[in-house]
Structure 1
Amino acid sequence: MMLYDTTADVIRKALRGLDLAPSEAAARAGLPEKDVMAAARGPVSREVLEQLAPALGLSPLALAGLPDFVPPACELPQITRLELPFDDETVNAWLVQDGAGGNVLFDAGDGPQDVAQALDAQGTGQLDIFITHEHHDHVGGLPALRARIRSLAGPAEGERLKGGERLERGALSIRAIPLPGHCLGALGYVIEGLAVPVCVTGDALFAGSMGGCAPGEPYREALAANRKEVLSLPPETILLPGHGPASTAGSELLANPFLAKDVIQR
């Protein structure tokens, strides 16, 4: 199962977040600038990754191990991943059975009909919908769902939510958590009522990576929010990201270069 981000993606996101030129990163790491440039473009040796990581505030072990990281199987019968087209990539919407005969959808994809067609294939009718953030690839399919929306909530759609607010949907308790950084006002959702806790992270956190952030405060906010709101959850908590495969909180504490336990927080 392919991760959404490669080591080169992680390095570019860290350079941008730190507002750090490759030459500055090279000086910090004691590496030739050409090695940093190569690492930001594609695969390089494990030794280069391990030496570069501390200069970027990343975990050396997690960054070097990222090409081999396979997130654990995170299958619950009540959860279906809808992997939808997004340019030459894909974006996730997550369909969760609410335990009372209904369904809850988290995010709505990019294309105007993609999520509606995916739901039709599942035989899904009326829905409660939660949106993580307002980027088009997460709300583009909403207009086609208007006739089947039972309720709509998010940072700017329908019922306006803030971090800490909790809603009940069927047998599920859904708590909004603030996940700023990648997008202003972005939310995640902690779901209780299934066999294990679940957290929908949107683009705040991916398996082995995180969403890109503007330099400075947004980047720092994203790191802090992921640590406080997501990785403080029980290690068995299943994480449902906006792109790429699911993971768990415990796996990300070991394998996410931005957030692993051995990262020296700056």
Structure 2
Amino acid sequence: MDNRMREAFDQVHASQELKARTRTQVLQAMEAQRKPARAVWKPVCALAACLLVVVLGLGGYHLYFTPTSVISIDINPSLEVDVNRLGRVIALHGYNEDGEEFAASLDVLHQNYQQAVDEILNSDTIVDCLNEGGFLSVSVVELSGNQGEEITTYVSNCTSGHHNVSCSTISSEEAHEAHHVGLSYGKYEIYAQIAAYDLDFTPEEANKMTMRELRELLASLQAEHPDITPPPVDETGSGCGNGNGHKHGNGNHE
């Protein structure tokens, strides 16, 4: 049990009846999120009872299911991972057909975000895309609290050393606009760059393209219109620099 859980336990002052009732409610909500085909709970779920009591100390079980940060993972598929104030994954969202299939194949609900990120980035889906020359964009948006920097740092360390990977932070304003037009956070970031050159380019078109295709389109538009200066795209990736053993491709793709 990590330090945050211990600290939260120390703050719990609730009747046994309230704890039992809340435990039942959250277990039912967690069970409803589990995919029928993957009914076997991972060891992390053994912490569920402890976590439910911690939730009481934070003001109610509903806070557990409120996202405070989102990790957007885009290559093709496009996937978003909702993270709560305890650093736990509470939802997955696919933003295209491949993303929906990818989300359905994962079993990371209620893991801490570090475990989930490791599992996602080391999945065959992501590794195969990178080895085939795909470009991976990981964007973090902080909805509330102050965990965004921590998550961005962790993701940057995980993906460091790979030239076909970028990491960035998305503002809450950009995040709102991204979902307004139906794009994941990561794809919206580069869509906005392209739209500065091509006013007819639509979010629907962007959503059908891979991150590499989007970057290549942006590069061609930049070459054709050197006089236009759109908002910058994070090329270096917030510290993505030296590899640390993750199997994210060979880093030779540009």
TM-score normalised over the length of structure 2: 0.27
Tell me which structure has the larger Cα radius of gyration. 2
TM-score normalised over the length of structure 1: 0.26
Structure number with the higher strand fraction is 1
Structure number with the higher helix fraction is 2
